[in-house]
Chains A and B, each alone.
Chain A
Amino acid sequence: GQNIDQPTEMTATEGAIVQINCTYQTSGFNGLFWYQQHAGEAPTFLSYNVLDGLEEKGRFSSFLSRSKGYSYLLLKELQMKDSASYLCAVRVRDSNYQLIWGAGTKLIIKP
């Protein structure tokens, strides 16, 4: 079956760094996405990894290891507005390139 795991909730301090992990077991891997979702709003695209390694985009970076079925999202210089849920999603070739989603990690930023 297809499965994606993320921690349910994490807490971090403003100005600090936090790493949100995602592990997956899927067939026909075709890329991994990270989305940010504020409460009551739609997910917004953050990053995309299809090859192993680190992708950096400003304060956010995402890492992928396909052999380990593992990704993380790294958020630096945390701001209060970063309080949101972070969703990991895997695109699966065998299912017509559909996205399989994790349940999301709720990130709480404290002053």
Chain B
Amino acid sequence: ETGVTQSPTHLIKTRGQQVTLRCSSQSGHNTVSWYQQALGQGPQFIFQYYREEENGRGNFPPRFSGLQFPNYSSELNVNALELDDSALYLCASSLKDSAETQYFGPGTRLLVL
């Protein structure tokens, strides 16, 4: 148990819909990173939030957006869902320090039909 929680655990949507995924970071952690992991692949970095500001972004289109709240919890929003968005979405919390390890939540498995 890392203390990082995500909701929902599973979600089914149809193409074109919008989805919001949620993450609560480990106590004391001020940084949240979001990843997309397709089956059989390593995680792909979507973006990171530190103190409510986006602090780096991977190669994902603008329809992937996020928020971080004052309590450091975070949301990932995906608009205009595509079939290829079906994946495990992971959030990881850490302290914004170069030596700090990221700890992952259990993930949200999204299926887009």
CB distance from B33 to the nearest CB of A (A): 8
Contacts of A91 in B (CB 8 A): 98
Q: Are A95 and B56 in touch, CB under 8 angstroms?
A: yes
Q: Are B58 and A98 in touch, CB under 8 angstroms?
A: yes
Partner of B41, one of A31, A40, A97, A103: A103
Q: How many residues of B contact A (CB 8 A)?
A: 25
Q: Are B103 and A45 in touch, CB under 8 angstroms?
A: yes
Q: Are A96 and B56 in touch, CB under 8 angstroms?
A: yes
Q: How many residues of A contact B (CB 8 A)?
A: 27
Q: Are A98 and B105 in touch, CB under 8 angstroms?
A: no
Q: Are A99 and B45 in touch, CB under 8 angstroms?
A: yes
Is A44 among interface residues, defined by CB-CB distance under 8 A? yes
Is B72 among interface residues, defined by CB-CB distance under 8 A? no
Q: Given that A42-B106, A95-B56, A96-B56 are known contacts, is A101 also in contact with B101, CB under 8 Å in the complex?
A: no
**Residue of A with least CB distance to B41:** A103
Contact with B along A43-70 (1 / 0, CB 8 A): 1110010100000000000000000000
Is A87 among interface residues, defined by CB-CB distance under 8 A? yes
Contacts of A43 in B (CB 8 A): 43, 90, 104
Q: Given that A41-B106, A42-B90, A42-B106 are known contacts, is A98 also in contact with B101, CB under 8 Å in the complex?
A: no
Q: Are B107 and A31 in touch, CB under 8 angstroms?
A: no
From 1 to 51 in chain B, residues with beta carbon under 8 angstroms from any chain A beta carbon are 2, 33, 35, 40-45, 48
Q: Are B98 and A42 in touch, CB under 8 angstroms?
A: no
Q: Are A87 and B42 in touch, CB under 8 angstroms?
A: yes
Q: Given that A41-B106, A103-B42, A104-B42 are known contacts, is A98 also in contact with B56, CB under 8 Å in the complex?
A: yes
Contacts of A26 in B (CB 8 A): none
Q: Are B98 and A30 in touch, CB under 8 angstroms?
A: yes
From 34 to 89 in chain B, residues with beta carbon under 8 angstroms from any chain A beta carbon are 35, 40-45, 48, 55-56, 58, 88
Contacts of B41 in A (CB 8 A): 103-104
CB distance from A11 to the nearest CB of B (A): 17
Q: Are B105 and A96 in touch, CB under 8 angstroms?
A: no
CB distance from B91 to the nearest CB of A (A): 9
